[in-house]
Amino acid sequence: MVRAHGAILEIEDGRQIVDCISSWWVNLHGHCHPEIAAAIFEQAQKLEHVIFAGFTHEPAEQLAHKIITHLPESLTRVFFSDNGSTAVEVALKMACQYWHNLGKVGRKSFIGFEGGYHGDTIGAMSAGGSSPFWGPFQPLMFPVQIVPYPETWDLDTEAESKELEALGLLRERLESTPDSYAGIIIEPLVQGAAGMRMCRPSFLRSLRQLADEFDVLLIFDEVMTGFGRTGDWFACIKAESCPDIIALSKGITGGFLPLAVTLCRENIYDAFLSENIHTAFFHGHSYTGNPLSCAAALASMKLLEADPSTFRGMEQIHRRQAQQWLDGSKQIEHLRFCGTVAAMEVCTGKDNSYFDAIGPQLKARFLEQGFLIRPLGNTIYMMPPYCANEELISRIYRAVRQVLDNLALA
C-alpha cells in the first residue's frame, strides 16, 4: 500500500481497492481525513508525549469529558491504555481488584460467551474461551465459564428460545457458586471475530437484570462496536443496557493511531480511592494517554458529532442494496444487519470453520474485482468507513453478487 483516501486504498502498482472492512474495523471517516491529520500535526508541535503517571494533559482531559457525554451517565471514570486487548485486560483486572478491595477475594472468576473474541493477550484470550488461534497458549490461559451467545439474523424465528437457553445456563452457573464470579464479559450486539454474530438488544437488557440479581459486574467489550458501528454511538446506548465497565478502542481515533479507554461506574472508582497505596490500580503502559492519539480521537469525535447521520443511516443503505443485489440468492443465508455492519453466510453444504478454503478463495476473488472483503470462514461481511455513500455501497453489493454467481458456476 502506498496511499489512501476516503474508502479507497492504493497499491504500489497503481491499482485501487475499496476498503470494505475499514482496515480491520478501525477506520471511521475514510482514510487520511484531513481534519484528523491536521489535529495530529498541530498536537505534535505542542506536546507529542509525556509520562501519564503523575501528569495529565489537555487532549486526554478533553477526550475523557467528550466520551462521557456520549455514554450512559453512570459511566463516569476513564482509564487510558493503547489497544483493544489491553482495554479488555484492564477491564478484567479492574473487576477482579474491585472485589478484592471490597474484601470479597473469592470473586475472581468470569463468565464469557461462546465465540467471544476480546484480544490476543493472555487475559483477553481467556475471556474469549476458545478460538482456532489459541491452541498452543491454552496452558497459560485461566478458566472462564462459557455460555452460548444467542446469535440471530433477519427472519430468525428462534431468537427468543436461544436467549432463554443462554439466560437459563447463565442463571445455573451464577446460582451454583454465587460468590465466585467477578463479572460477565460480552461483545454487545455484534460478536466480531466469531463471524459478525448478532444478538438482540433485549438479551443485553436481560443480562443486565441477571448481573444485578447476582451482584456481578457486567463488562461490555465495545472495542469494535463503539463509536457508531452499530448505528448508534455505542451498542449499550442502542440496547439501553448499561454495563459496569466498558472497553473501547479501534475506531476511537478514527483509525489513525492506537488508543484505548476503559470506563467504569463511580462505585467501582470509589473502591480504589483511598490513602492506602495497595488499593490503587497498578496498570500502566509507556504510551498510555498519548497526546497525539487523544488529539486524533477528539478530531474524530467532532466529525461524528457534526454528522451522526453517516453512521445512523448506513443500515438502511445496507438493507436497500442487499435487497437489490442479494434478494432471492440461494447461495447465502442468515442475512443480518446492525448499523454499519452487514453479514451473511455463504451456503457450502457443510459446517465451515474459520480456516476453510472458502474464505481465502472469496477474498482473492473480491480482490481481483478491487474490493477488500476478508471473509471470516464462510461469513462475508461488510463494514465500510462511514464516508461510503450509497453509490459505493451499491458497487460493493454488486461485486458480492458477481462473485457468488461465479462461484456457483465454477
Query: What stretch of H or E contains 339?
Result: none
Closer to ligand PLP by Cβ: residue 83 or 310: 83
User: Least separation, in Å, of the C-beta of 193 and ligand PLP?
Assistant: 6
Residues 6+ apart with CB under 8 A from 182: 92, 95, 96, 98, 99, 107, 108, 109, 110, 216, 217
Where in 44-63 is the site for ligand PLP (CB under 6 A)?
Answer: none
3-state secondary structure of 360: helix
Only segment of 33-41, 63-71, 77-85, 380-388 that touches ligand PLP (CB under 6 A): 77-85
Q: From 153-161, 186-194, 297-305, 371-379, give the range in contact with ligand PLP by CB under 6 A.
A: 186-194
Min dist. Cβ of residue 221 to ligand PLP (A)? 5
H helices present in 177-313, as ranges: 201-214, 235-239, 266-272, 291-306, 309-312
Q: How many CA atoms lie within 13 A of 219 on its CB side?
A: 32
Does residue number 28 form part of the binding site for ligand PLP (CB under 6 A)? Answer: no
CB of 59 or CB of 195, closer to ligand PLP: 195
Q: Which is nearer to ligand PLP, 83 or 152 (CB)?
A: 83
Residue of minimal Cβ distance to ligand PLP: 84
- The nearer residue to ligand PLP, 115 or 291, going by C-beta atoms, is 115
Looking at 79-87, 263-271, 301-309, 325-333, which segment touches ligand PLP (CB under 6 A)?
79-87
Grid coordinates in use for 275?
Answer: 490513602
Q: Which of 88/346 has CB closer to ligand PLP?
A: 88
Tell me if 197 sits within 8 A of 149, measured CB to CB: yes
Q: Give the nearer residue to ligand PLP in terms of CB position, either 194 or 387.
A: 194
| Contacts with ligand PLP, 201-230, as mask; x by CB under 6 A | --------------------x-xx------
**Of residues 119 and 150, the one with the C-beta less far from ligand PLP:** 119
- Give the integer Cα–Cα distance in Å for 192 and 198: 9
Answer for which of 19, 89, 163, 187 binds ligand PLP (CB under 6 A) is 187
Retrieve residue 354's grid coordinates: 474459520
- Nearest-angstrom CA–CA distance, 36 and 20: 21
Which residues, at least 6 apart from 366, have a Cβ–Cβ distance to it below 8 Å? 20, 372, 373, 399, 400, 403
State how far the Cα of 236 lies from the Cα of 72, in Å rounded to an integer. 8
Subset of residues 82 to 141 that bind ligand PLP, contact rule: CB under 6 A:
83-85, 88, 117-119
Closest distance of CB 191 from ligand PLP, Å: 8
Q: CA 186 to CA 307: how far, in whole Å?
A: 29
Helix (H, G, I), strand (E, B) or coil at 292: helix
CA nearest neighbour of 180 among 97, 109, 95, 123: 109
Closer to ligand PLP by Cβ: residue 71 or 322? 71
- CB nearer ligand PLP, residue 19 or residue 187: 187
Least Å distance between CB 147 and ligand PLP?
17
Residue closer to ligand PLP, measured from CB, 52 or 117: 117
Of the candidates 259, 174, 266, 240, the residue with the CA atom closest to the CA atom of residue 211 = 174
β-strands 181-186, 109-113: how paired? parallel
Nearer to ligand PLP, 25 or 371 (CB): 25
The size of the interface with ligand PLP (CB under 6 A), counted in residues, is 14
- In the bound complex, what is the minimum distance in angstroms from residue 397's beta carbon to ligand PLP? 24
- Least separation in angstroms between residue 241's CB and ligand PLP is 16
Helix H or strand E segment including 181: strand 181-186
Q: Give the integer Cα–Cα distance in Å for 242 and 72.
A: 7
Of 192, 197, 124, the C-alpha closest to 166 is 197
**Which of 174, 193, 322, 393 is in the footprint of ligand PLP by CB under 6 A?**
193
Q: Point out which residues bind ligand PLP (CB under 6 A).
A: 83-85, 88, 117-119, 187, 192-193, 221, 223-224, 249
